Amino acid sequence: MEEMQLPLRKIIHVDMDAFYASVEQMDNPELRGKPIAVGGGGKRGVVSAASYEARKFGVRSAMSGFLAKRRCPDLIFVHTRFDRYREISKQVRAIFYDYTDLVEPLSLDEAYLDVTQNKKGNPSATLIAEEIRQRIFDEVGITASAGISINKFIAKVASDYNKPNGQKTVNPEEVLTFLENLEIRKFYGVGKVTAEKMYKLGIFTGKDLKGKTQDFLDGHFGKSGSFYYNVVRGIHRSEVKPNRIPKSVAAERTFRDNLTSEIFMVEKLDHIATELAKRLNKYKISGKTVTLKIKYSDFTLQTRSKTLNYFVADKSLILETAKELLYQEKMQNSVRLLGISLANLNTEDKKVENEIPKETLSVQLKFEF
Ligand SMILES: [Mg+2]
């Protein structure tokens, strides 16, 4: 195994299938199963999106409507409705936020999700991607594809693999082979022009690329040289940059056996406060309002809150406040879940930052995908 440092991440790239066209076919049943082009209808119009039925004839986005019609005489042109696409995109994103706040939209129909730590506590990014795609289909009505891997670059490449309505996971131990076998034109960031240049240099696959020195790549590709040098070795440190700032940060735990003794509850709160402080630290967030969430064995839910007059982020202060809330009144029943959350955050005018973990590949391999 080669020596290398890889960030310990579980990244999903979700890509809606023929997004604008799929929305039009969903909203207008008479268009279903037919070759349609969104946009491109005017005299000098350009196609924004083509349905899969139209793609079979060679109709592509960014193609002139004139050429599209020549390739597919039965092509139906539909007007773009961006407000509607934005609305659908919002519904899809709301599903993503059920799993993680680390969502980075690339456009209305694509996003990166970091599910290394996720709200469902699900260790399998593969299963999360399956669940998300199923929910998009059930709740929104269109299909999506997904790529799952250890960084954004590989996830993005992988989401194209089993498109439409499919997904592909590149597990940590498969990463290097996957990249070596990848055709150079499929590398994200390598466009037509760069691909031609690579071919002339004898680079057709990831393996060929890996055979070149950093100096060679710097010399031929300037600033992009080190990007190519690194990504083919599985290294891509770009983080999922959320553009949404969370309103609260929480950690909670469901117990296998319901708790009746407050001594045990305090013990559990200690673990939960540790977990919460870790998250706060990771995102460099602090907050003023501590809330204790109690779910009883009969599933009734109770919350108790206290707002401090200063920001807290460290475990001991959070735990102290949570304990105070715990002892505030007697428990109504045995307890099946405890949670602590922090709101009134100091993130009003701040972007959330998270650091790059520096675990090595050997750690990575123990990772469940
Ligand atoms: Mg798409």
Residue 59 CA from chain centroid, whole number: 29
Token pair in block for residue 60: 């592509």
Token pair in block for residue 358: 């520096």
- Is the domain spanning 248-349 CATH 3.30.1490.100? The answer is yes
Cis peptide upstream of residue 105 (ω within 30 degrees of 0): no
Q: Which of 277, 257, 236, 263 is nearest to 331 (CA)?
A: 263
With 70 as the cut, is the pLDDT of residue 179 above it? yes
With 50 as the cut, is the pLDDT of residue 72 above it? yes
CA gap 81, 274 in Å, rounded = 47
pLDDT of residue 348: 53
Token pair in block for residue 43: 């005299």
Asked which of 42-46, 135-139, 351-355 is least confident by mean pLDDT, the reply is: 351-355
Token pair in block for residue 263: 């001594």
Token pair in block for residue 178: 């996957």
Centre of ligand 1 to C-alpha 16, Å, is 4
Tell me the mean pLDDT in the region 236-246: 80
pLDDT of residue 237: 86
Centre of ligand 1 to C-alpha 49, Å, is 9
Q: Where in the chain is the domain with CATH 3.40.1170.60?
A: 19-82
The tens digit of pLDDT for each residue in 328-347 reads 988 889 999 999 999 998 87
Q: Where in the chain is the domain with CATH 3.30.1490.100?
A: 248-349
Return phi, psi of residue 280, to 5°.
-60, -40
Return phi, psi of residue 38, to 5°.
-90, 125
Catalytic: which of 3, 87, 110, 130?
110
- What percent helix, strand, coil does the chain show, rounded to 5? 40, 25, 40
335 contacts 265 by C-beta, under 8 angstroms: yes
Centre of ligand 1 to C-alpha 60, Å, is 12
CA gap 1, 3 in Å, rounded = 7
Q: Where in the chain is the domain with CATH 3.30.70.270?
A: 1-17+85-243
DSSP letter, residue 8: -
CA gap 74, 31 in Å, rounded = 12
Q: What is the percent of the chain where pLDDT is above 70?
A: 91
Centre of ligand 1 to C-alpha 207, Å, is 28
Residue 181: other Cβ atoms inside 10 A: 10
pLDDT of residue 369: 56
Token pair in block for residue 205: 């696959």
pLDDT of residue 260: 92
Centre of ligand 1 to C-alpha 164, Å, is 9
Pairing of strands 287-296, 335-345: antiparallel
Distances from the Cα of 159 to the Cαs of 162, 280, 348, 357, in angstroms? 7, 31, 34, 24
Which residue has 């959070």 as its token pair? 318
CA gap 315, 274 in Å, rounded = 6
3-state SS assignment for residue 360:
strand
The tens digit of pLDDT for each residue in 265-299 reads 999 999 999 999 998 888 788 999 999 999 999 98
Question: The CATH number of 1-17+85-243 is which of 3.90.1150.10, 3.30.70.270, 3.30.930.10, 3.30.2130.10?
Answer: 3.30.70.270
Tell me the mean pLDDT in the region 308-328: 94
221 strand-pairing partners? none
Pairing of strands 76-78, 36-39: parallel
349 contacts 152 by C-beta, under 8 angstroms: no
Beta strand extents in the chain (DSSP E only): 11-16, 36-39, 47-50, 76-78, 103-107, 110-114, 144-149, 167-169, 248-259, 287-296, 301-312, 335-345
Centre of ligand 1 to C-alpha 241, Å, is 20
Distances from the Cα of 202 to the Cαs of 23, 187, 194, in angstroms? 42, 16, 12
Token pair in block for residue 230: 């690194």
- Is the domain spanning 19-82 CATH 3.30.465.10? The answer is no
3 is catalytic: no
Q: How confident is the model at residue 364 (pLDDT cuts 50, 70, 90)?
A: very low
Q: How confident is the model at residue 245 (pLDDT cuts 50, 70, 90)?
A: low
